[in-house]
Amino acid sequence: PAVPPLLLNSSSVSSFLESKSISTVLFDCDGVMYRSGTPIPGVSSAITHLLASGLSVVFVTNSSGSNRASMADKLTKMMGTDIGPGMCLPTCYTAAWYIRKYHPEVKKVFVIGGQGIVDELNSVGITCIGGPPTPTTPTSMSSSDCESFTPHPNVGAVVIGMDESFNYRAIFEASTYLRDVNVRLISTNQDSYDVLNSDVWQPAAGAMVAAVEKATNRKAVNVGKPTTRTMEVLESEYGVNRAETVMVGDRLDTDISFGVTN
């Protein structure tokens, strides 16, 4: 295969985009736009330049903790550039889109993950149980607790995203619902870890998904990068033409794989 060009400055980037008739640039967020909440130098001017050039920009993240509006607000404040919800694609939105499109019969979901998942599912008329715990939410379960547990009726899917409060109770409740083969198992992403700095790698959603998969002998449908479900959303909801699109990211297993396979 041909060796891809090395783009070292704004002039070479502009020339590349023009030569390939690029209309849309997709950006990952953590590690590309910012690191640990701190903007990466030059990103604001780069985004401003791309938008001024008439290109569409979409921020495509495997994070599911914040809904599209919250994500847009965060990026706007961080970069000093007006970013709208229609420029943001977190995987919580993709999960809601996927259920609405492929499993419209699902009206109630058990959530392992952040508020963003709950918000986006609620926005398409889906009731959520689980989700972010309260300070009084128990985390453990004894054998007798398991035997006396009463599941909520009519749960049609289990959706798993990053959850820093992940615990045994979440595994048990998810596995209880998933004993019904008609209940769907969906992951917002399957990233194994997030790099906080050179010395700290934080276990990510993929570790939580793996625990539930092991407990249930089920395999989750992944809607995040690098899967085609993310591209389906971009094409149907964001007007992206994949033949005229570039993906900018920092991870080979998600961002770059997504760009190559889609």
Give the active site residues: 28, 30
Long-range contacts of 136-140 (CB under 8 A, 24+ apart): 137/169, 138/169, 139/165, 139/167, 139/168, 139/169, 140/167, 140/168, 140/169
Pairing state between β 193-197 and 200-203:
antiparallel
Helix (H, G, I), strand (E, B) or coil at 111: strand
Give the other-Cβ count within 10 Å of 202's Cβ: 12
220/160 Cα distance (integer angstroms): 9
Long-range contacts of 71-80 (CB under 8 A, 24+ apart): 71/29, 71/116, 75/29, 75/33, 78/33, 78/34, 78/37, 78/39, 79/33, 79/39, 79/43, 79/44, 79/47, 80/44
Residue with tokens 């395999």: 219
* 34: enclosing H helix or E strand: strand 34-35
HSE-up of 83 (CA within 13 Å, CB side)? 27
Give the other-Cβ count within 10 Å of 191's Cβ: 24
For the CA atoms of 237, 238, 240, 246, the dihedral, rounded to the nearest 10 degrees, stands at -130
